[in-house]
């Protein structure tokens, strides 16, 4: 029997390994940034072109590599942190070079310049598709510069599966956020296609969060800190009123590594129980420090999933720490029946100052039944002797109080009184029963019931309004005819750099729906006009929800962008279950629904109405 098992060539094995490590450009960014951090860098630059498809460059000022280390770093199974198998369970770093570089070099053009001395002499290596092209001595500053060009150039199938530049850039920014939040002591610069996206100086954790997500974040943060023998927790959670319908800023870090854990996320959510609405999610930035031997970070190739030895204890500690912080900073209500808040002593109260006893002044000569009582012009009533100071005035003489009750026993005849009648000229909305032959009825403030020839139609008012608004917004964006109402006082909304760049991309489509932006500068957007259907008080909330939806579901094309924008606006602006609609509004919604192109389904492919025929009703009475 012929042998069929054979060893793969190194370049093929590297390409297969690259499939596990390098899924998209963001994977390369993550590996290179973590390598730069483990090199002890204090300042790191990230340069991106065409969402990483053309160029990914990371420049650091950390410890460089010698000529031999530079060559070995691109070999398979090369590492600087593992010597024995036991080292896998005592990892304190992210990996100084090695490991992923061989996989990256197998599917891209890589050029590395590095120097480990102060003499400005270093090594430059060029590799294309896993093949070493050149290695030479060059002038280089202390540190390392890694350039990854033409990612997946030799695997066209993988390159074709990459998403649009907008989507891939979003993934790169997400990875960038996870790295910079875990290392606030390191300064970062991020450039995309020649423009600066982030310039983050060295700072503490709170300052780094504000620098990344905008100044508006500062007032939303509640500090969390707890130290036990099992885990040390510090970080911040968002105040309950800033909970979002989508999973927004939610970050868990264990030993300065970003992780995903639905179990620990549930612990934070349970601490907010009763403080946030259903189907909303709190934001948090929590940093956990545990013994490296008590966790396993190698259960997933990307190391974003970890396994704890005692998850139940950590769950309870996180829940307790977050709940304690919310109560300590008066974010959560506290019941204390033994304390009267009105008796609390203010902080600025001077303890050396004695209490002042209030004085009471009473005029014993005051008679409310006097015909002409004398009243002083100031707050003190004049004495009976008339002696005193201040101006006097007399109340005009009037009938005594007994006259108020005269004639109560007499019966009055109101038959001769004529009342002014209000002439009814007609109603704004005609009676549906007389003119249209149909009626509507709102059931439990959620469904609208109307009649048809064959029976009844039960309409979900929320989904029906979504369909009406969706087609209206999509039409306005297509023909660019959105109606806007101008604001007397423009609304200013604070945004972080990521949200601002996304808003600039969506600006044209939003203006077609009726939004008018006076300016988009820095971290502030000034809105001078809004669609007619949007109320002024809801503008900031709708815009924030819109940007959150786009960050979680970026479209692939301009058409998809308009579709997603119309769906998001219709979801946020449609009438809610539990909202009362008058008769005219009910009838208008029914008419508008059946005037749409697809009245039977909502923009999210959910049924909008259900019919109940007369025959089906008759069967229920058999």
Which of 287, 308, 328 is the last residue before a domain boundary?
A: 328
Residues 18 and 104: beta-carbon distance below 8 Å: yes
CA distances from 299 to 82, 94, 302, 588 (A): 17, 15, 9, 57
Residue 537 located in a structural domain: yes
Q: CA angle, corner 214, sides to 219 and 249, nearest 5?
A: 80
pLDDT confidence of residue 414: 56
- What is the torsional sign of CA 121, 126, 131, 136? negative
Question: Residues 488, 515: one domain?
Answer: yes
pLDDT at 389 over 50: no
* 146 and 240 part of one domain: no
Q: Report yes or no on 359 lying in a domain.
A: no
| Choice among 20-29, 247-256, 319-328, 429-438 with the minimum mean pLDDT | 429-438
378 occurs within a structural domain:
no
369-384: average pLDDT: 50
Q: Is residue 215 part of a domain?
A: yes
Residues 303 and 158 in one domain: no
**Averaged over 235-246, what is the pLDDT?**
87
Same domain, 565 and 501: yes
Q: Is 196 helix (H, G, I), strand (E, B) or coil?
A: strand
Average pLDDT over the chain reads 80
Question: Which domain, by its residues, includes 448?
Answer: 440-610
Q: Are residues 530 and 457 in the same domain?
A: yes
pLDDT grade for 428, boundaries at 50, 70 and 90: very low
Asked whether residue 189 carries a pLDDT value surpassing 90, the answer given is yes
CATH number at residue 256: 3.30.230.10
Please give the share of the chain, as a percent, with pLDDT higher than 90.
30
Model confidence at 417, pLDDT cuts 50, 70, 90, reads low
* % of the chain beyond a pLDDT of 70: 76
Give me the CATH number covering residue 173: 3.30.565.10
Q: Is residue 382 part of a domain?
A: no
Q: Give the per-residue pLDDT at 485.
A: 86
Supply the pLDDT for residue 562.
Answer: 81
My answer on whether 467 and 553 are in the same domain is yes
d(CA 432, CA 451): 12
pLDDT tens digits along 270-289: 999 888 888 888 999 999 99
pLDDT of residue 346: 55
Mean pLDDT of 86-97: 51
* Residues 280 and 261 reside in one and the same domain: yes
Q: Where is the domain boundary, 200, 227, 252? A: 200
Query: What's the pLDDT tens digit per position in 479-500?
Result: 777 788 888 888 888 887 778 8
Residue 128 shares a structural domain with residue 228: no
Least Cα distance to 109 among 148, 152, 144 occurs for: 148
Identify the pLDDT of residue 352: 54
Q: Are residues 193 and 209 in the same domain?
A: no
Same domain (yes/no): 113, 158: yes
Task: With a cut of 50, say whether residue 41 has pLDDT above it.
Answer: yes
32 located within any domain: yes
Q: Within this chain, do residues 196 and 314 fall inside the same structural domain, yes or no?
A: no
Helices 539-552 and 558-573, packing angle to 10 deg:
140
Residue 79 has pLDDT above 70, yes or no: no
**Domain final position from 270, 300, 328:** 328
Average pLDDT over residues 296-304: 65
**Residue 339 pLDDT more than 70?**
no
Q: Is 595 within a domain?
A: yes
Q: How many domains does one find in the chain? A: 3
Q: Write out the two tokens for 315.
A: 């769950």
Classify residue 173: in a domain, yes or no: yes
For residues 67 and 215, state if they share a domain.
no
| pLDDT tens, residue by residue, 248-264 | 789 999 988 898 888 89
């Amino acid at each position: 029997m012929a042998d069929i098992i054979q060893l793969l060539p190194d370049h093929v094995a590297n390409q297969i390994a690259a499939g596990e490590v390098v899924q998209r450009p963001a994977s390369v960014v993550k590996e290179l940034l973590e390598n730069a951090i483990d090199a002890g860098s204090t300042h790191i630059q990230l340069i991106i072109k065409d969402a990483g498809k053309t160029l990914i460059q990371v420049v650091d000022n950390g410890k460089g590599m010698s000529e031999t280390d530079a060559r070995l770093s691109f070999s398979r199974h090369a590492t600087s942190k593992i010597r024995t198998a036991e080292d896998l369970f005592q990892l304190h770093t992210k990996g100084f070079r090695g490991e992923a570089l061989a996989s990256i070099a197998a599917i891209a053009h890589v050029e590395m310049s590095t120097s480990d001395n102060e003499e400005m002499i270093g090594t430059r290596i060029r590799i294309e598709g896993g093949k070493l092209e050149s290695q030479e001595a060059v002038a280089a500053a202390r540190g390392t510069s890694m350039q990854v060009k033409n990612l997946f150039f030799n695997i066209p199938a993988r390159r074709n599966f990459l998403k649009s530049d907008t989507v891939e850039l979003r993934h790169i920014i997400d990875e960038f956020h996870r790295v910079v939040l875990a290392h606030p002591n390191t300064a970062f610069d991020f450039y995309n296609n020649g423009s600066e996206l982030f310039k983050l100086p060295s700072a503490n954790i709170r300052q780094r969060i504000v620098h990344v997500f905008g100044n508006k974040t500062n007032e939303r943060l509640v500090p969390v800190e707890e130290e036990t023998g099992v885990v040390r927790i510090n970080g911040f959670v968002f105040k309950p009123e800033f909970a979002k319908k989508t999973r927004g800023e939610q970050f868990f870090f264990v030993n300065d590594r970003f992780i995903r854990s639905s179990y620990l996320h549930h612990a934070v959510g349970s601490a907010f129980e009763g403080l946030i609405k259903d189907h909303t999610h709190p934001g948090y930035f929590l940093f956990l420090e545990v013994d490296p031997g008590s966790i396993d970070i190698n259960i997933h190739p990307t190391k974003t999933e970890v396994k704890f030895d005692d998850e139940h204890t950590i769950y309870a500690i996180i829940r307790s720490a977050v709940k304690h912080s919310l109560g300590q900073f008066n974010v959560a209500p506290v019941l204390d029946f033994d304390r009267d808040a009105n008796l609390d002593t203010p902080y600025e109260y001077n303890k050396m100052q004695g209490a002042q006893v209030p004085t009471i002044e009473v005029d014993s000569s005051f008679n409310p039944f006097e015909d002409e009582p004398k009243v002083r012009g100031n707050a003190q009533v004049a004495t009976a002797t008339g002696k005193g100071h201040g101006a006097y005035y007399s109340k005009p003489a009037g009938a005594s109080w007994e006259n108020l009750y005269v004639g109560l026993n007499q019966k009055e005849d109101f038959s001769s009184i004529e009342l002014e009648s209000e002439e009814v000229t007609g109603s704004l909305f005609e009676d549906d029963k007389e003119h249209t032959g149909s009626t509507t009825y709102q059931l439990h403030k959620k469904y609208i019931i109307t009649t048809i020839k064959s029976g009844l139609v039960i309409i979900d008012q929320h989904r029906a309004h979504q369909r009406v608004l969706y087609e209206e917004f999509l039409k306005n964006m297509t023909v660019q005819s959105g109606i806007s109402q101008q604001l007397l006082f423009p609304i200013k909304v604070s945004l972080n750099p990521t949200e601002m760049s996304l808003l600039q991309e969506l600006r044209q489509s939003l203006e077609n729906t009726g939004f008018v932006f006076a300016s988009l500068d820095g971290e502030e957007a000034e809105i001078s006009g809004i669609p007619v259907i949007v109320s002024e008080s809801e503008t900031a909330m709708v815009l924030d929800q819109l940007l959150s939806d786009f960050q979680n579901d970026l479209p692939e094309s301009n058409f998809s962008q308009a579709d997603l924008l119309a769906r998001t606006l219709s979801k946020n602006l449609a009438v809610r279950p539990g909202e009362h609609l008058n008769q005219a509004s009910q009838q208008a919604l029914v008419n508008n629904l059946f005037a749409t192109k697809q009245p039977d389904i909502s923009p999210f492919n959910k049924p909008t109405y259900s019919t109940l025929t007369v025959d089906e009703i008759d069967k229920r009475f058999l």
